[in-house]
Amino acid sequence: MILYFALEPPHRWVIVDRRGRVLEDGVAEALDHIPVRHRRLTRRVGVVPGELVTMHSLRIPARSRAKAAAAVPYMLEESVASNVDALRFRLLQWVRGGVSKVAVMSRDVAAQWSRRLSEFPERTDALVPDYLLLPRHTEGRCTVAADGEGRLIIRTGDLEGLVINEQELDLWWEEMADPGLAVAVNNAEHARRLVELGGSMVHEWRIGHHFPEWLQHGHQVPDNVDLLPGGRDAADTEASRRWMKVAGVLFGLALLLRLGVDGYDYVRLSAREKQLDDQIAATLQNAFPDITRVVKPRAQMEQRMAGLRGRTTGSGFLALLSVVSRAAPAVHARVEEISYRDATLLVTCRTSDFEALDRLRQQLANDGRVTVDLVSSGSLENSVSGRFRLALKS
């Protein structure tokens, strides 16, 4: 059985069974006078004024309820009049990829409810706004109930409702902008007014003025509604914080792993760079015997090669090497070995075929300063190798 009790005075209360039938109801002078220790009670639900709780519909782009609850304040920041820090948000229904329902209330009001619940002799399982206790008419999508004290309590859906003053009925109907909206009203005067405003589906439904009377006509209170501080959203938020901590730890581990991999790569590449520098230095001294001191092998090699590309006109080794450096790229030949002795340059080049090797010989011979002799040639693995002897003409 479920006990519903009003948190604000007068403290009306009602007990319904599991089939939604009203068993007992009454009014208590104080919260501690409500019959909360009925032996068959399984749930105790506080009822709060609906004007203090607003409902919002949102499409929240989140992959989990916890993340959706954390995103709600930022999504509603432009839609609420108060600062979000002064409000409490409760995600009542989350629909992944669809429309979710959010309840918003003042933090100060929620704190007052917590203090009043401390006077209640038993644990309270949930808090609900009073408009969600209104029954739904079989022929009406919307229920409007006047409480006899100037308030109109309105329920427009499973998790939708509001409370307005009686004087605001015309404004509310204008905002609905649906003359065909099926409305059930507990007051004949308000029903006539809605008909005068153009309502074509208005029914009078005498369900009483307060929730103990409303529940006589049907129990349709969603089980997932809970406005209590520390309710499901608080658990979701705490779960979100835990996941954030886990994500932080994993990020830290990933960062350390990345730093370790980068450090290993740096050491490995530094060693490889030194090895290449040593090879460049050896090649530099072998190709340019006149260099006796190697300081920056890459820079020195680039300087010498730049000199060769600029058609070095000197005598001896550099002049012969400049001839090779111009001829080899012209026929896509690769220089594999160079030796220089007794004013003669022996160079081994590899080409794609014998025709390309012959074109290389012609390119070398085109420079009138040198004599060119093909010493030997041979083929290996789809390529041809040739050894040339070059000497400056006297």
At 287 the pLDDT is: 66
Q: How confident is the model at residue 341 (pLDDT cuts 50, 70, 90)?
A: confident
Distance, CA of 278 to CA of 294 (rounded, Å):
10
Amino acid making up residue 358? D
Joined together, the tokens standing for residue 320 give 């012969």
Q: How confident is the model at residue 293 (pLDDT cuts 50, 70, 90)?
A: confident
Q: Is the pTM of this model over 0.75?
A: no
Distance, CA of 275 to CA of 77 (rounded, Å):
61
Domain annotation for the chain: domains and CATH numbers: 310-392 (3.30.1360.100)
For 243-252, how does the pLDDT look when each residue is reduced to its tens digit (9 = 90+)?
A: 667 777 888 8
Q: Is the pLDDT of residue 234 over 50?
A: no
Q: Is the pLDDT of residue 262 over 60?
A: yes
Q: Is the pLDDT of residue 180 over 80?
A: yes
Distance, CA of 145 to CA of 123 (rounded, Å):
30
Q: Is the pLDDT of residue 151 over 90?
A: yes
Mean local confidence (pLDDT), 220-239 = 67
**Average pLDDT over all residues of the chain:** 87
Q: Is the pLDDT of residue 241 over 80?
A: no
Query: Do the strands 54-59 and 11-16 form a parallel or antiparallel pair, or are they unpaired?
Result: unpaired
Distance, CA of 4 to CA of 126 (rounded, Å):
10
Distance, CA of 330 to CA of 120 (rounded, Å):
98
Question: For the sheet containing 160-165, what is the strand order?
Answer: 160-165, 151-157, 142-146, 183-185, 202-204
CB atoms < 10 A from the CB of 60, how many?
21
